[in-house]
Structure 1
């Protein structure tokens, strides 16, 4: 990069940094709550806001609705070398519900307080949407192209599995992603303090989804009678077995690599048979990492009966199951064993686990962009305990990473803000993300 190019980049970053906070606030103020069906407000208003911002700088997005108000936006930004395979940057517009009574600040207020932007979606993931929009707008204003073509996707429905967003786009409009071989999205590139070392965790894997509905059937009857065929009893026993089950430790390469780096930073020996030795010293990050050393299955719902003195004929429960890369068959076989013969299962939503390797030019570009801003840090791969739209895009043969760069203050419970109360993102973190993403687009 020449001195003039570096100066132009610096000026662009500064302008985008000035804009990113306002965009993040605006997006939070647009309620895109996704209850898991079509009863919410949908993503249309947020999508129209995105279209206006991109159209203002000459980019003509494609707007697609899978269902009324379930709106996604896709645009393509020309790169310096159009012969190279394209890069996808994706972010979702929907958010999970928020009960305002539980929050210190109104969850859709986008308030700027104590150096943080508060509100539902602040970290999941209207922050990254804002960073992408701010950087894109400034680069287009100044005529600075990314290193290669970049496809931008702002999707609906990610918080309910993505069927009406990324699932719809990849199934019905795959041509929008023609030539794309790699992608970045949530959740990765955020900082975590481990001992006296700051690490940036880049997501190279995420667990698979097995949201299950369990059903037990029995014989209806009077609640006063002795009854040996009670659906509620059979279901409750199966749910308790699953909820209390101790899953064995499994370490995909992404998990092992993170734990090895964390062990070195903490000055403790890494024992793959006992990862809790390290996890217990990771503070708030330990909750996220701890969920990636084994499969998990958490009961989340029960439904049975309609009157206290009537034994119902059927009972149902819901299980949030997550399996590690390479562990799907083992997970489902163990669930079936725990269910026994009296309880049946069906999928509410079922999707793959995703894993790639922590190498190659794109991973090096992510690392270089982060370290240019924070030279004393290290970059490590990790596995995400949740799921993202990467599952859908990977089915098109796209290699997916989680890279939404944020530098966080020490001791911030970052993982706890996802779907939690008082979700907020530091202004300095947003500005950091702008600088990193802008630099990344020059070298990706």
Structure 2
């Protein structure tokens, strides 16, 4: 901040206010001294657009952080600086826009960042009101919708419009955040930004509202500030299991903050989201991965059931299934058929549980307890293999190499769980008792 202030005031006999000089330079190069802000396109071309971008970026650096004195210097300067920056966002810059829309989008992106920097960490409304002075809310909302629709067209044409910083959709998002900040000081703009308030282009506002988040931070002077930021589309691919894992396992530091450990995991999370995006192209693996919680629930319930059977009926030599009396057998078959019909008609959890329970009872009395336990164990092994596929599919573990797989404690735990399932199936039933450690895990 000291260097930012030094650019404005050097405390010498003759001071050179580089902030004002830069703003006046922008004023001159954009031709506003001729009195025509609507004719920006006549002065902005491929030869000087890079210079204008550099000027906007320099002004942003002067006041972001924030430096309130430089913010005020830009906002209250007698030149047309603020009006030019606003016009860069609202106006179509032609003929440059017809030939190089990418350069126009970059200009709009830098202009919106500069206006956000001018309002950063402000608890008053002076700068926001100065920006709103020559900005009609309807025009600003139309620019947001237009940028979104342009991004939709590029997406349909197969162009990668999401990754570039100056892609239409990202530029529209920056302008939406600018509008969101300005809406605190303008009720009309606040109403127009609400999804559902407008008929045309509602999809754009809904998209940006859904992909915009905010947090509150405490500054060094103990003031609380709200930070608004865009949520990248790739975050949609973060699974529920990963969110819960991060929420419950991220460790606190000495100050009780989880931020340090979270950022240590951020690279793995980003790789996982990229993998989840690619996973959509593999339907079978994606289906397995999507139902990971379901496979885990089945595995746990089977472990409890098998342990109950072992606890109550071991050793199995004295336990015979034997034929049931006709009316009991008929009742059991009826229960199976009714529960099956309910599951087919209304696939609810209670109906599925009733079908499973009646089927297991039918198996016990038809083939015996030990063969039924063997079938349950075999099914549990198959289910755990599917679970491992879904776990690896969700996290993309194998894409990180064998070393990462060996060092992944959670993967090794599930691999050991599968080994115990197999030992309970082929060695001895008492190994099933070890599966109950899953309660602790």
Instruction: Considering fraction of residues, name the structure with more helix.
Output: 2
TM-score, with normalisation over the residues of structure 1? Answer: 0.22
TM-score, with normalisation over the residues of structure 2? Answer: 0.22
Instruction: Considering fraction of residues, name the structure with more strand.
Output: 1
Higher relative contact order, structure no. (Cα contacts within 8 Å, ≥ 6 residues apart): 1
